[in-house]
Structure 1
Amino acid sequence: AGQLRVPRLTRLGPPPAEAPGPDLAAGTVLVTGATGLLGRLVARRLVTRHDVRHLLLVSRSGADAPGVAALVDDLAGLGATARVAACDVTDRDALALLVDELPADQPLTGVVHAAGVLDDGVLPALTPERFDAVLRPKVDAAWHLHELTEKLDLAAFVLFSSAAGLFGGPGQANHAAANCFLDALAQHRRDRGLPALSLAWGPWVNDTGDGRTGHVDEARMNRGGFVPLGADEGMDLFSEALRFAEPVVVPVNLDLALIGRHGPAAVPPVLRSLVRPATTGAVRAAERDPAEALRETLAATAEADRDQVLSDLVRTHAAAVLGYASIRSIDAERGFVELGFDSLTAVEFRNRLNAATGLRLPSTLIYDRPTTAALVEYLRGALLAERSTSALTVLGELNKLEHAMRAVASADTDRAAVGARLRELLSLWTYTESGADSAADEGASLESASAEEIFSLLDEEFGSA
């Protein structure tokens, strides 16, 4: 209707007291992905909190999955009967058979679709087959369940989605797309008067027990302000979410202070109604160009100690990407691949070093320079070769100038004056480098150069920030 709309998350208060949640006790609840970690937690929660007495637990491995017999015994001890079925949830006919076989006195009253797989990778590596592997158990299975149950009198139809569909996730284009579909399906069902709830989960605790701070993906999300959920906390949120009327609920633990620490520009748009940005002084400190700070540090450091500065820089970012608690875990002589890097973490590492150094490093960086020592040598050459301390200072000022120039509107009437002044400065710089004769020739061509040509020449001379 001519209105601009943007997505924003808002905090949900306590559910209404008159909203007890769906009544699932009258029949059978079908749980997909039931032999996985989340599926087992859901099965127990349905019995202990929601009085479910009949469960149909579905997974590809079925009763052959490790620990399933113990799970069934535990549920029986809690007063529930659990039938375990091996079924490929992407097979519509197989799912239809399971639903049809339910006894008349135990009709299907609820569905919890928790099945899913991950196959992360940088976008060029995500082939159609790798998209299919992730989308089929999420998307195809959800659509089959929707079609097979839309005529039934369900009390709940719950989809386990992911916050990756809202925030994106490095290397998770396939996963994000699959979960966006689940969120949309929940809205589609609600629009048709059918029960539906999509839970866009944040990360869960995953203690690897190998001395790291957690799984690499968890470490990355922690840096972004996502705090992993514990099992009990997650299941409490599951039970609470069932009482809300919204089709999509986001059970996620966010460190809003951490997210707002770097100023308004760093806050994801979807969170701007929740996050209070840092104070002006903190923002100024956070927004200081790290590449400029690095050049100033190198300029003030004795030549013999510069490699240590760069080594600390490299190992700090390597430890952060890999989820290690300290740079002491990063041996400067060990290969990056040996330390645990893959194609995805290599790209994140390269991006972090780009921001820290102001350089444009290749995506193959850790393969071209496979150890910290080799990378330090490369960075030293790129940052310091044939550059005096005074030149480093000028480069830092140019980096700040570029940020200011990018903020100038294209229609600003003073752009021509800026272009003229840049031509004068570049002519002066060329004169001091090459002498008056060669500078005079080049200065003549600069008089007729466009602003785009000037920026291109600046980029060639000094590199892009």
Structure 2
Amino acid sequence: DTLLAALARLHVAGAPIDWAAVAGRARPSTLDLPTYPFQHQRYWLDAETGTNRYRIDWSRLDPAPAARLDGSWLLVTGAPDPAHDLVERALAERGAQVRRVTPEQLSGEPAATGVMSLLSWDDGGAEHTLELLRTGAPGPLWCVTRGAVAVRGDDLTAPDQAQVWGLGQVAAIEEPARWGGLADLPAECDAAQADALAEAVATGERQIAVRRGQAYARRLVPAPVGRRRRPFRPHGTILITGGTGALGAHLAHWAAAEGFEHVVLLSRRGAGAPGAAELRDRLTASGTRVTLEACDVTDRARLAEVIGRIGDLAAVVHAAGILDDGTIDGLTAERFAAVVRSKALGARHLDELTAGRDLDAFVLFSSAAATIGAAGQAAYAAANAVLDAIAHRRRAAGRPATSIAWGPWAGAGMAASAAAERRHRRTGITPLAPRTALTALRQAWEQDDTAVTVLDADWSRFTAAPVLPLLRDLPAVQGMRRAAPSGPAPRDARALLALVRGESAAVLGHDSPDAVPSSRAFRDLGFDSLTAVELRNRLAGATGLALPSSLVFDHPTPARLAEHLGAELGGGRDADPVPGVAAHAVEPGDPIVIVGMACRFPGGVRSPEDLWRLLDDGTDALSTFPEDRGWDLGALYDPRRSRPGTSYVREGGFLDDVAGFDA
């Protein structure tokens, strides 16, 4: 009885039970439940997701007439637009000394208090913004869009400009010292809108939108599950893009189990994708009709052909996409465009091609990277921000739309590697169990959400200063702020070294700082560009310093980094010397730093630059026997090699000026 009761509790909580194994040889008969009580009301209990769901809210900012913008500001503009003058005048009226420049002029400008870019308004605005971030603006960068976010619901007019908002979420984490913030103006901008923009920037908010002369601040707030707003009645055909991938397989099984009669799994390789045939066979065996379609969602004509053949299309789930991790400073325009194209262009095609269909649901799989940022995922965040924007625009047009910004799924999806899961957990993100995520998918459907973020996060780990205003209204963050110690950052050299070693150990997943020798190079310890950003954020949060993402490469050992932090905090030369930086005997395996290179090779090569030039030009470095070696050249050549010490060739690779060579 105890065993069966326990199994029953697991079963109603959603756990899979092998009932055949439980029954053993008894093989009891089964009876169908009467169907009439379940025809009009759903009785099955939802499992708790354990993820306290989130949504974006816009908090009205109180007027701040006295807010001022001090110092010099650069206004970066592209194609002519009357609103440029309005923004420039508004900044100047708030006290800023404004100079308007083009992107080409920006690199030669001296350091500025702030840089405001209006390039997002032009075609290719996200690429222009990426280039500004990569090359570096001479001051904290503000990016202004128009109609890229939904404040009132019907005011989002430029979904493509939402890329800049996704990109900005990541820039705030990767480059907090070089990042200013994001602002959105309405499509029709007048002097009142521009003035509200300048006022809001002066207050110190990082993510703002202006509507009808009123400024609003972007906030992440809880979105608890409430009363169901619409029934979940699966029927007809569901189309799943990315259908043969890891997430697609979970979705296909979920759709079949929930009652969709026909599941269309669309992917670039279709039936030729690894595991696709086996997935189809498993679903078919359960009584569900399955179609595998080979189609790239960026191919509009082919996608239209596939959709046109589905007469009873009831739901669309867009889960296709590619991930190309890498920090902003190494992200090329080509890599950026490829990620955005797969995710955002595919969503746009699905939106357009189903506009005339009476769908029950149109679900877009977005990413939490577009909501709160994620180091190394700038392109992915930009692409998914467009999905959120498309959902808002569809909803404003009266069509169904739900964009779910997922945190990582455990064991599935594009961030399912063991290394990625460890990185997520270190930054406070617990990957979602697929069963939990699928429950959240059903909840989003029943709650009729337009945009919801599903994420299991420890908010105490989010320390990048530009992100904190976004999280200000979360109860967990408010409690954390109340409990946060107010003591000063450590300045003692030994305490700073302990801080660096302890945070380094935490980032690398070690149990103790003892695993991080003070004189060992960060590269040798296992740091890469993403973990370097994570360590920088931790140290910035602990010290209050604005630190660059190149921190661990500029100061390559924990000891050197601790010494640098001490100087930045005012320790200077009076600080205690950092242990471990004094000269000591070299041990095997110690890192060697190359501070210069030299070489001598045939062909007149006297430096690495000469060698590269020789290789690049394809120079022939062979010459006849030199005359400055003291050789008997007449007796040296012997084509038959009849005597020892002779040569059967007259040419070779010889160094010039051996007498002048310092051995």
Question: TM-score higher than 0.5 here?
Answer: yes
- What is the letter of the counterpart of residue 227 of structure 2? P
Q: Name 1:169's counterpart in structure 2.
A: 374
**In 2, Cα distance between the equivalents of 1:212 and 1:326?**
19
Could you tell me which of 443, 452, 458 is aligned with 1:240? 443
Note if 1:229 corresponds to 2:432: yes
CA contact (8 A) 1:212 1:325 kept: no
CA contact (8 A) 1:213 1:324 kept: no
Local SS of the residue matching 1:7: strand
CA contact (8 A) 2:363 2:404 kept: yes
- What is the letter of the counterpart of residue 7 of structure 1? R
Question: Mind listing any 5+ residue stretches in structure 1 that lack a counterpart?
Answer: 299-305, 390-465
CA contact (8 A) 2:229 2:446 kept: no
- What is the letter of the counterpart of residue 41 of structure 1? H
**In 2, Cα distance between the equivalents of 1:100 and 1:7?**
40
Percent of aligned positions that are identical: 41
Q: Cα deviation per residue 1:338-372 (whole Å; 9 max; x = unaligned)?
A: 44322233233234445545777664443354444
Query: Which segment is superposed worse, 88-97 or 343-352?
Result: 343-352
CA contact (8 A) 1:38 1:114 kept: yes
CA-CA distance at 1:52 after TM superposition: 0.9
**In 2, Cα distance between the equivalents of 1:242 and 1:154?**
13
Note if 1:180 corresponds to 2:180: no
Q: Name 1:20's counterpart in structure 2.
A: 231
Could you tell me which of 353, 363, 382 is aligned with 1:148? 353
CA-CA distance at 1:218 after TM superposition: 4.4
Local SS of the residue matching 1:169: coil
CA 1:279/1:329 → structure 2, altered by over 3 Å: closer, same or farther? closer
Could you tell me which of 68, 71, 74 is aligned with 2:279? 71
Local SS of the residue matching 1:347: helix
Q: Name 2:257's counterpart in structure 1.
A: 48
Note if 1:112 corresponds to 2:322: no
Local SS of the residue matching 1:386: helix
CA 1:194/1:324 → structure 2, altered by over 3 Å: closer, same or farther? farther
Note if 1:317 corresponds to 2:518: no
CA 1:361/1:185 → structure 2, altered by over 3 Å: closer, same or farther? closer
Question: Could you say which structure has the larger radius of gyration?
Answer: 2
Query: Which segment is superposed worse, 178-187 or 366-375?
Result: 366-375
**RMSD of aligned Cα (Å):** 3.4
CA-CA distance at 1:4 after TM superposition: 3.5
Alignment of 1:210-225 (within 5 A): 214-220=421-427, 222=428
Q: Name 2:132's counterpart in structure 1.
A: none
CA 1:334/1:54 → structure 2, altered by over 3 Å: closer, same or farther? farther
CA contact (8 A) 1:9 1:274 kept: no
CA contact (8 A) 2:472 2:478 kept: no
Q: Name 1:401's counterpart in structure 2.
A: none
Structure number with the higher helix fraction is 1
Could you tell me which of 366, 380, 387 is aligned with 2:574? 387
CA 1:361/1:239 → structure 2, altered by over 3 Å: closer, same or farther? closer
**In 1, Cα distance between the equivalents of 2:535 and 2:481?**
29
Could you tell me which of 275, 278, 292 is aligned with 1:84? 292
Could you tell me which of 231, 238, 243 is aligned with 1:29? 238
Q: Give TM-score scaled by structure 1 length.
A: 0.67
CA contact (8 A) 1:237 1:251 kept: yes
Local SS of the residue matching 2:314: strand
**In 1, Cα distance between the equivalents of 2:303 and 2:571?**
64
CA-CA distance at 1:154 after TM superposition: 1.5
**In 1, Cα distance between the equivalents of 2:227 and 2:421?**
37
Alignment of 1:199-218 (within 5 A): 199-206=404-411, 214-218=421-425
**In 2, Cα distance between the equivalents of 1:39 and 1:66?**
13
CA-CA distance at 1:114 after TM superposition: 0.5
CA 1:97/1:335 → structure 2, altered by over 3 Å: closer, same or farther? farther
- What is the letter of the counterpart of residue 165 of structure 1? A
Q: Cα deviation per residue 1:288-308 (whole Å; 9 max; x = unaligned)?
A: 232xxx22x44xxxxxxx4xx
Q: Cα deviation per residue 1:379-406 (whole Å; 9 max; x = unaligned)?
A: 67887663167xxxxxxxxxxxxxxxxx
Local SS of the residue matching 1:97: helix
Could you tell me which of 217, 220, 228 is aligned with 1:6? 217
Q: Cα deviation per residue 1:228-282 (whole Å; 9 max; x = unaligned)?
A: 21111111101111112231122222446x479x9x9984435505446238872
**In 1, Cα distance between the equivalents of 2:564 and 2:228?**
63
Q: Name 2:362's counterpart in structure 1.
A: 157
Note if 1:196 corresponds to 2:405: no
Could you tell me which of 274, 284, 289 is aligned with 2:488? 289
Local SS of the residue matching 2:435: helix
Alignment of 1:263-412 (within 5 A): 267-270=468-471, 272=473, 274-275=475-476, 277-278=478-479, 282-283=483-484, 285=485, 287-290=486-489, 294-295=490-491, 297-298=492-493, 306=494, 309-330=495-516, 335-354=521-540, 356=542, 363-372=549-558, 375=561, 386-387=573-574
CA 1:198/1:385 → structure 2, altered by over 3 Å: closer, same or farther? closer
Local SS of the residue matching 2:216: coil
**In 2, Cα distance between the equivalents of 1:48 and 1:323?**
39
**In 1, Cα distance between the equivalents of 2:452 and 2:401?**
11
CA-CA distance at 1:189 after TM superposition: 0.9
Q: Name 1:94's counterpart in structure 2.
A: 302
CA contact (8 A) 2:321 2:339 kept: yes
CA contact (8 A) 1:212 1:324 kept: no
Local SS of the residue matching 1:5: strand
- What is the letter of the counterpart of residue 239 of structure 1? R
- What is the letter of the counterpart of residue 386 of structure 2? F
Structure number with the higher strand fraction is 2
Q: Name 1:451's counterpart in structure 2.
A: none
Local SS of the residue matching 1:19: coil
